[in-house]
Amino acid sequence: MKQELYDSSLKLEIIIILLVNIFFYFLFAKIDFLEFLYVFSIEHEEYELDEIIPLFMTLALSLLVFSYRRLREIKKFTSNLYFMANHDQMTQIYNRRYMTDVLKVEQDRVNRSGSVFSLILLDIDDFKKVNDNYGHQAGDRVLIEFSRMLKKSIRNVDVLCRWGGEEFLILCRDTDQAGAEAIATKISEMIRLFKWDHVEPVGASMGVVSSKKEQSTDQLFLRVDNALYEAKSNGKNQYIVG
């Protein structure tokens, strides 16, 4: 979203530069500035002013090439910076910062139009034991594998993030409670069937909630967090609807 705003600002700046140059082109054409410079250089050959004209042309071409190269570098840099600011370094999925912004936008849309979205908060069960028994590198691999499984289980319009530690949050756009439960069931089945080659089978608990009109994002997250806590308390490796 912020990247799109930056791109729009950059395009506007380029348009302004083009308009300014077009304005001066017609201004110089009207007053015959180049012809005046040429006549003046003929009358004052001792100044060698006639050499300025080709110099201006080469200088303009040089600035054009320089600007184009710098523009490409800046766009690449800002794109990388945007990715780093909004993605989790380990799993390469969105981070909590990005999801917080998306949540606010979606809740505003619900309050404005009456649409609906759902949240699925997932926590890997007994993740500390994985780190203690197999090491932190094995734990990192588990987090990466979970993020890959979750990406396969959601649609392109949905948003997945690493919420923190071993917690993942999924925002399901235009999805009611029944739809979110179907996704949670699919995730549970994928986790159950997954073949872990470096650790013992790993489970996960989930909380599932749907948005409500005139509800804050804090209230919504409290509901999904309570549902996750209930899933943990009821034996883990399951989902509870809040």
Residues marked active site are found at: 166
The owner of tokens 């470096």 is 198
- Beta bridge pairs of residue 162: 95, 168
Give the chain as a 3 state SS string.
CHHHHHHHHHHHHHHHHHHHHHHHHHHHHHHCHHHHHHHHHHHCHHHCHHHHHHHHHHHHHHHHHHHHHHHHHHHHHHHHHHHHHHECCCCCCEEHHHHHHHHHHHHHHHHHHCCCEEEEEEEECCHHHHHHHHCHHHHHHHHHHHHHHHHHHCCCCCEEEEEECCEEEEEEECCCHHHHHHHHHHHHHHHHHCCCCCCCCCCEEEEEEECCCCCCHHHHHHHHHHHHHHHHHCCCCCEEEC
Q: How many CB atoms lie within 10 A of CB 242?
A: 21
